[in-house]
Amino acid sequence: MRCGNATAALETIQSKSRSGGQSQVEPCVWEIISHLTTYQKQSNFVFRQVSERTISIPAHLQKELGELYQRTASRTQQASNEHAFKLATLALLCNDGEQSADSSVVETIEDYLFTFLWVAVSSDAPSQQLIQIAKLLQQWGPKYFESDDHGSSGGWAYAMPLMIAQQLETALTHLATVGGALGLLQATHIGILLDAYKIPLVDLGQSPSTSNNKLLSSLLSSHCESIKAADPAAALEYLVRIPDEALMRTHIQQLIVSTRAYDILAGSLSPTGVRDFHVPPTSAVAGQRRDGAALDAHFSATQIAALLNGAAQMALKDGMVEDAAEILALAGSYGDLLALFNSRLGELMVPRDDTEFIRKRK
């Protein structure tokens, strides 16, 4: 049940009953678990969306459960706390968050979060409940969750509760910030996955707006920065996932200029002056093979020419004039290339500081 799998819980108690063991499960609990499986259907989880109340227990079962809880609580007070787990479970099924949280069985952060989540999804306003706990989590801050000051969890100690509370933006940002290269990689991949399922990368309680694109773009470009020197082709694989096309193009052009891996990204110039993208696979990623230039896997020849032209302008702006010439040649922008040749040859033809030249024959 703690994993949210009511079907598995039901199968367990059924199995125990069939094997002839003495079942400790009260009939009304049995009935409630059976009822919960109707929410789960073919899924592995009983929990669904949190935007609305997902679990509703019939009134008669609630009444029976309430009485059972009172009886168990009474026995527990008289005797020992041997029934503490049972009491806590009943409290949760009764949707009594306070009772369950106060129980001695709730010892860890995970226990607390599970208890809170259960109460949240059983409440009339699950989103508000989650927002409430998210505020608490952010109030406590990362240090509260880390076991040491060195962040040995790689950011996960704080990121996981945040993700449970659906604070996705804060969680991924934290993971990417404090988790080093691995944390950034993990945050980027989680971001890609969530985006693929159209899940907004925002904190629950915030409006989606454009934040989804911004965070994902930021994660992708940051991760690209960290790997581009080792494998420009792999870096490109991340950049092409940037949702904003204009931003994606800018980042790809920056990748071309900063890595200068022209042959890997765009191929080489053939003797006929046409870009030859059938370069041998040179990716540094183990086991990865490419049949041609990396850009050709994602863009048409026209799009690549436009990207290369933009990269050439960027190189010119950065003073990398020689590189700009090479990129223009790859782009097939021979007119621009010749204009660049003209500009440079014109400037270099007669060195302006060569007074020897002017005064040579005085």
In angstroms, give the least distance from the CB of 245 to another protein.
Answer: 26
Report residue 167: phi and psi, to 5°. -95, 70
Is the dihedral angle over the CA atoms 210, 214, 220, 221 positive or is it negative? positive
Express the helix, strand and coil content of the chain in percent, nearest 5 each.
65, 0, 35
Q: 310 near 316, Cβ under 8 Å?
A: no
Contact 222, 235 (CB under 8 A): no
Task: Pick between residue 52 and residue 347 the one whose CB is nearest to another protein.
Answer: 347
Nearer to another protein, 164 or 325 (CB): 325
Beta bridge partners of 275: 269
CB of 199 to another protein, least distance (A): 47
Least Cα distance to 192 among 242, 251, 247, 236 occurs for 242
Tell me whether residue 284 or residue 345 sits nearer to another protein (CB atom): 345
Of 45, 85, 144, 334, the one binding another protein by CB under 8 A: 334
Q: Is 350 in the site for another protein (CB under 8 A)?
A: yes
Q: Does 351 bind another protein (CB under 8 A)?
A: yes
Stretches 62-70, 195-203, 312-320, 329-337: which one binds another protein (CB under 8 A)? Answer: 329-337
Q: How far is the CB of 258 from another protein (least distance, A)?
A: 20
**By CB under 8 A, is residue 344 in contact with another protein?**
yes
**For another protein, which residue of 41, 42, 271, 319 counts as binding (CB under 8 A)?**
271
From 108, 272, 287, 289, residue interacting with another protein (rule: CB under 8 A)? 272
**Per-residue CA distances from 305 to 205, 327, 334 (Å):** 43, 9, 12
Place of tokens 């969680």: 171
CB-based burial, 112-130: b 16+ in 10 Å, e otherwise: bbbbbbbbbbbbeebbebb
Closer residue to another protein, CB minimum distance, 181 or 345: 345
Q: CB of 297: closest distance to another protein in angstroms?
A: 26
CB under 8 A: which stretch of 18-26, 89-97, 150-158, 353-361 binds another protein?
Answer: 353-361
Residue where the block lists tokens 């949702």: 243
Based on the shown chain and the rule CB under 8 A, indicate whether residue 349 belongs to the binding site for another protein.
yes
Number of residues that bind another protein (CB under 8 A): 28
Among 241-249, 283-291, 308-316, 336-344, which window interacts with another protein (CB under 8 A)? Answer: 336-344
Distance CA 16, CA 66 (A): 25
Cα 191 to Cα 77: distance, rounded to the nearest angstrom: 48
Judge contact between 138 and 170, C-beta under 8 A.
yes
The Cα 240–Cα 158 span in angstroms is 30
Determine, following the binding rule CB under 8 A, whether residue 360 of this chain makes contact with another protein: yes
Does position 284 bind another protein by CB under 8 A? no
Give the shortest CB-355-to-another protein separation in angstroms.
Answer: 10
**192 is written with which tokens?**
């890609």
CB 209 within 8 A of CB 259: no
Q: Are 289 and 295 in contact (CB under 8 A)?
A: no
**Which of 277, 219, 217, 228 is CA-nearest to residue 254?**
228
- When asked if residue 319 is in the footprint of another protein (CB under 8 A), the reply is no
How near is the Cβ of 146 to another protein at its closest, in Å? 54
Structure tokens of 149?
A: 């000051």
| Residue 361 contacts another protein per CB under 8 A | yes
Q: Give the interface segment with another protein, choosing from 7-15, 181-189, 243-251, 268-276 (CB under 8 A).
A: 268-276
Q: Which of 20, 280, 287, 346 binds another protein (CB under 8 A)?
A: 346
Which one, of 141, 123, 7, lies nearest residue 55 by Cα?
123
Smallest separation, CB 252 to another protein (Å): 24
Instruction: Note the residues at the interface with another protein (CB under 8 A).
Output: 271-273, 322, 325, 329, 334-335, 337-339, 341-352, 357-358, 360-362
